[in-house]
Amino acid sequence: MLRTGVALVLGGVLAGAPEMAAAQAPLVAEGCIGCHGPGARGSGSVAGIAGRDAREIATALMAFRAGERTGTIMNRIAKGYTDAEIAAVAAYLAGLRR
């Protein structure tokens, strides 16, 4: 089931995410900024996530959401977001400068 979900999300990322999802990307991704640093370039113990491969980000978020990857708080966070939002955030972050 996870695999199907990832495939769907990645399909969205690679084909150019649905317009509504992409339109949300900047605001949804603002949620990341509070901990991951301005421009998502990292802050102290919290990793930079800017400029990473969109597939890598989406896969990680899907795994956190499915409880298949342990996190300090990301597992709790990922459960609040939809496939479309994960795709949009991944696409947006991938486009940022590292």
Of 6, 9, 25, 50, the one binding other proteins by CB under 8 A? 25
95 in contact with other proteins (CB under 8 A): yes
Q: Is 7 in the site for other proteins (CB under 8 A)?
A: no
Q: How far is the CB of 60 from other proteins (least distance, A)?
A: 15
Please report whether residue 46 would count as binding other proteins according to CB under 8 A: yes
Q: Residue 37 contacts by C-beta under 8 Å, 6 or more apart in sequence? A: 43, 46, 48
Report which of 57, 42, 46 is spatially closest to residue 88, judged by C-alpha positions. 57
Binder among 7, 16, 68, 98 for other proteins (CB under 8 A): 16
Burial class of residue 86 (count of CB atoms within 10 Å of its CB; 0-12, 13-18, 19+): buried
